[in-house]
Structures are given as structure tokens and as C-alpha cells.
Amino acid sequence: MADVKNAIDKTEELARKIWLAGLGAYGHGFNNIQDGYDKMSDKTRHYFDDLVEQGTKIEAEAKNTIDKTGEKIKEQGDKLKEQGEKIKEQGKTLRKEGLNLNVSARVEEIREKVASKLTMPSFSSANNDEKLEELNAKVESLIEVVSKLAAAPEAVKDSAPKKKAPTRKPAAKKEQDAA
């Protein structure tokens, strides 16, 4: 057990030495950086300060440019919005006019259909005389045919052989047979 206790003590001592070595390295590095900074020449510090000043100016200019650009973009957006509203109104007007045109066209279409059903087809005046003559000739021929047909049944009656009326058989006398 003494060996285990002795091993633990040695391990603790080694860990403490490692810890102290780390702290020593940190302190040494910090001191080196501090010394290096202090040893910087005035020229280097002046150069660093110039860079900071120039960065500050560039930052201010960038903010100013961004603000101006933002204002221009806002103005353009407002103009586009106004144009959009105008176009929207024009679209509404066109829709209304288009609807009126569609209704007007549909009413005209219906009117033409009704008018075509109510009116007789028109013939050109040059053909009217010819058609009238043709129709008169047809009517004359129909009159002839009808008159022949009207006269034909009388001729058929006169020329047809007369049929004899059917003869009746005498009825049997019931009274005489009963006696």
C-alpha cells in the first residue's frame, strides 16, 4: 500500500510540475509580446494609426453611399409602385371595355341569328324573272296533270264493266216446315 501511496504522490508532483511549466510558458510568452509591443518604433505605431484613420473614413463613406443608394432605391420603388397602380387601373378599364365588347358582340350575334330566321332569303333581281318563268311553267304543267287526273276517274267509271249485284238466297220457310 505504501507503494501505491508513493506512486500517487509522485504522479501528483509530476502533474503540479507540468502545470507550473505551462504557467511559466504563458508568462514568458506574455512578457515577450509586451516587450515587442513596447519596442515597436514610432514609425510603426504611426502607420497603424493611419490605417485606423483611413478605415474610419472608408466606413463613413460606405455608410453615406449606402444611405444614398437606399434613398434612390426607395424613390425608384415608389415610382414603380405608381406605375403599377396606373397599369392596374388601365387593366381594370380594359377588362370593363372588353366585357362590354364581348356583350356587344354576343348581342349582335344573337340579333343576326334572329334576323336570319325571320327574313326570307333574297334573290338577285336578274334571277327573279327567270325563276318566275320557271315556276309559272311548273305550275302550268301541274294544272294540266291535275285536270287529266280529275277527268280520268269519270272515263274509268264509264268504261269499267258493271258488276252484278250479289243474289240473295231465299230464306227457308219455317212455318211451313213446322206444320
| Distance, CA of 179 to CA of 173 (rounded, Å) | 11
| Of residues 43 and 5, more confidently modeled | 5
Sign, CA torsion 156/158/161/164? positive
What is the pTM (predicted TM-score) of this model? Answer: 0.29
Average pLDDT of every residue of the chain: 80
Please, which residues have CB within 8 angstroms of residue 124's CB and are 6 or more apart in sequence?
none
CA distance 141 to 139: 5
Whether 178 has a pLDDT exceeding 60, the answer reads no
